[in-house]
Amino acid sequence: MIKVDNVVRNYHAGETVVKALRGVSLEIKKGEFLSIAGPSGSGKTTLLNLIGCIDQMDGGEISIKDEVISTMKKKEKTNFRRNNLGFIFQTYNLIPVLTAYENVAFVLSLLNLPEREVKDRTMAILKEVGLEGMEHRRPSRLSGGQQQRVAIARALVKNPEIILADEPTANLDSDTGREILELMKTMNEKHKTTFIFSTHDKMVMEFASRLVMLHDGQIQSDEKR
Amino acid sequence: MKFLISLAFKNLTRYKRRTLITAGAIAFGLMMYIFIDSMLAGAEIESVRNLKWFETASARILNDEYWENRFQKPLDLSISNPDRIIQTLENNGIRATKRIVFSGDLILNADDFGEDGNLAATITAIDPVRDFRVFGFGTTLIEGRFLEPGEDAVLLGSWFAEDIGAEVGYWITFVTRGNGGFYEAMDLEVVGILNCPNPNVNRALLMMPISTADEYLDMDGAVTEINVALPDNADVPMEVERIQEMLNGDNLTVMSWEAMAVDYLALAEAKRGGTSTILFLIFIIAAVGISNTMLMAIFERIRELGMMRSLGMSDTKIRLAFMIEAAGIGIIGSAMGIVLGILANLYLVNVGIDYGFLLRDMDIGYRLQAIFRGVWNPGTMIKAFFIGVIISTLVAWFPTKRALKMDIPACLRHQ
């Protein structure tokens, strides 16, 4: 489903060139619950960003569902992300002036769906992530775990085939982090959504059905569990 | 679209104080625009009225060669049969009056004025019966009485009387050259003082009966001008053409007030241009304020921006969202500006601003003696409102463009 082929990404800091990814190759199948792990600076977020079509690679090729994303234009990438990808961020990135309901419905509004459908799907997904009755709360009135549940609902509501999560539990305590991972795992099993998340948290790695370890921009190990 | 509007207006409440301060800058700009536009429009309307009522009338009939030589005030370039022309005009429903304008030296006697002296002056000889039907001097008498036909009397403008220290009952001597070049001296009693709202007139006004002037100057019934009053809603150029046709063959020319007041009109236009520049600068300052506010708002929410872009929101929609937000600031600011403008204008229309201290000794072009009053101009307010909203909306484009140049990972990393 996802094919990463010899991907290279360099960052330039003045005259210094930082090699974030040095020829990474990887294949990810539909429905996998995959963790990209490694120490800080190993390139895991960079790889996630490249798969998520929000960064530009310097070499190699990535294709998703047989579409080569590395050659896509900016507008095509935007459309691709809108229709196929969901994102979960470490800091949730909810819009503080919107309610939980509006934060989730926002994604569907981008797809120009009928209002009735937006409402039904948003309410259903909020119920599924355990936020029934909290639809009208703004993020400031939700706990960290609840905010991340809203973010998960936001990622899932459009039924994407792939969800990319960058350190989704890093801002949560271990109990809440476990709850969030269990929720993500449940959603992965229920919806057959492919989850790819970056982490350096051991607990998160334990949850993964496949663990790809990165070190200095290269794959150190790739093990299925 | 509904979502974008809702998001933009909710974002406005995020930083209430900043929104209000920025809106305040727009409001101030708009208030100034409405206020100054009202004051200038009021000054122009009143100036034109005072020009026509006290200086030029609606139109003037002159000898063909008079206008070119008007500064010499030549008595020989005259209209020889004024009464026939006035009769013709009146038969066509047009009010008209004749005048003789001549210049000379005003001799001031120590008996009345404390010390002897003289100064150059211009006398306007009027028909005491007809003149008030064309000009507006009828309500300006503040002391003494009006002129009567045939008497050796003079009316003075109040500022002129004040400047020379004249009072009702004083005598002045006026030395001039009559028609043909002979010297003539006339002793005239000050019988009244007029307070003319047109400062240019009030500063130099001397009026005497035309019959007396005719005799002294040996005009033999001729006059230097016939002034015509037209209704306010008249099409002046068309009426001028019509009068010209009536005079066909008399070697006379008809000039509209606009042709005679061309200097004033150019000055008013220049003032309007200058004021527009100042107002433009006020709007630029407000626009920079809005742009800065939007820049701060955008960069404070740069991670949200990254999130929205990650989820597939197009740059166009993001730009639109911020522009709607800026339009919201513009709407709030413009609405505040209109309210403030109306309040300021209420005072300007009903009370006005007294610039008498300035206008007494200085000619700024406007034919106003002291008080600048405003006028209501709903068109300006509507225009100001839309200018405020449009400028606010447009200036948000630049900071948004700058933010959208950042790549998405950089937006998401932004602290």
Q: Which of B307, B404, B405 to mutate to test the interface with A (most CBs of A within 10 A)?
A: B307
The residue with greater pLDDT, B264 or B342, is B342
Checking if the pLDDT of B212 tops 80, the result is yes
Judging contacts by C-beta atoms under 8 Å, the chain A residues touching residue B10 are 97-98
Judging contacts by C-beta atoms under 8 Å, the chain A residues touching residue B7 are 95, 97-98, 106
**How close is the nearest chain A Cα to the Cα of B282, in Å?**
33
Q: Which stretches of chain A drop beneath a pLDDT of 70?
A: none
Task: Note which residues in 33-62 of chain A have CB less than 8 A from chain B.
Answer: 45, 49, 52, 54-56
Give the per-residue pLDDT at A159.
Answer: 86
Give the per-residue pLDDT at B314.
Answer: 92
Q: What percent of chain B has pLDDT over 90?
A: 47
Checking if the pLDDT of B361 tops 80, the result is no
**Per-residue pLDDT reduced to its tens digit, B401-410:** 888 898 898 8
Give the per-residue pLDDT at A203.
Answer: 83
Q: Is this model's pTM higher than 0.90 or not? A: no
Query: Binning pLDDT at 50, 70 and 90, where does residue B59 land?
Result: very high
Whether A81 contacts chain B with CB within 8 A: yes
Interatomic CA distance for residues B246 and A159, integer angstroms = 89
Give the per-residue pLDDT at B372.
Answer: 84
Checking if the pLDDT of B99 tops 90, the result is yes
Q: CB–CB of A78 and B314 under 8 A?
A: yes
Q: Which of A110, A122, A140 to mutate to test the interface with B (most CBs of B within 10 A)?
A: A110
Q: CB–CB of B412 and A55 under 8 A?
A: no
Q: CB–CB of B408 and A54 under 8 A?
A: yes
User: Considering only CA atoms, which of A61, A49, A8 is closest in space to residue B407?
Assistant: A49
Whether A89 contacts chain B with CB within 8 A: yes
Per the CB < 8 A criterion, the answer to whether B374 and B41 are in contact is: yes
Query: Binning pLDDT at 50, 70 and 90, where does residue B269 land?
Result: confident
Q: CB–CB of B3 and A109 under 8 A?
A: yes
Q: Which of A47, A54, A85, A167 to mutate to test the interface with B (most CBs of B within 10 A)?
A: A54
Checking if the pLDDT of B365 tops 80, the result is no
Query: Binning pLDDT at 50, 70 and 90, where does residue B255 land?
Result: very high
Q: CB–CB of A54 and B409 under 8 A?
A: yes
Q: CB–CB of A78 and B312 under 8 A?
A: yes
Checking if the pLDDT of B164 tops 80, the result is yes
Give the per-residue pLDDT at A99.
Answer: 94
The count of CB pairs under 8 A between chains A and B is 66
**Per-residue pLDDT reduced to its tens digit, B305-330:** 899 999 999 999 999 988 998 899 99
Q: CB–CB of B408 and A107 under 8 A?
A: no
Per the CB < 8 A criterion, the answer to whether B35 and B380 are in contact is: no
Positive/negative CA dihedral, B17, B21, B27, B31: positive
Q: CB–CB of B311 and A110 under 8 A?
A: yes
User: Considering only CA atoms, which of B364, B414, B410 is closest in space to residue B40?
Assistant: B364
**How close is the nearest chain A Cα to the Cα of B304, in Å?**
6
According to DSSP, the residues that pair with B187 across neighbouring strands are B173
Whether A97 contacts chain B with CB within 8 A: yes
B311 to chain A: closest CA residue: A82
Judging contacts by C-beta atoms under 8 Å, the chain A residues touching residue B309 are 54, 78
Checking if the pLDDT of B13 tops 90, the result is no
Query: Binning pLDDT at 50, 70 and 90, where does residue B284 land?
Result: confident
Q: Which of A47, A78, A84, A148 to mutate to test the interface with B (most CBs of B within 10 A)?
A: A78
Structure tokens at B60: 């003037």
A215: how many CB neighbours lie within 10 A of its CB? Answer: 14
Which residue do the tokens 């500006």 mark? B337
User: Considering only CA atoms, which of B29, B111, B56, B51 is closest in space to residue B287?
Assistant: B29
Interatomic CA distance for residues B188 and B358, integer angstroms = 32
Interatomic CA distance for residues A40 and A215, integer angstroms = 9
Whether A73 contacts chain B with CB within 8 A: no
Interatomic CA distance for residues B333 and A171, integer angstroms = 40
Domain edges within chain B: 2-51+264-413, 59-229
Stretch B246-261: mean pLDDT: 87
Give Cβ neighbours of residue B253 (< 8 Å, ≥ 6 apart): B61, B62, B63, B64, B66, B67, B244
**What's chain B's average pLDDT?**
89
Interatomic CA distance for residues A6 and B122, integer angstroms = 100
This model of the complex carries an ipTM of: 0.90
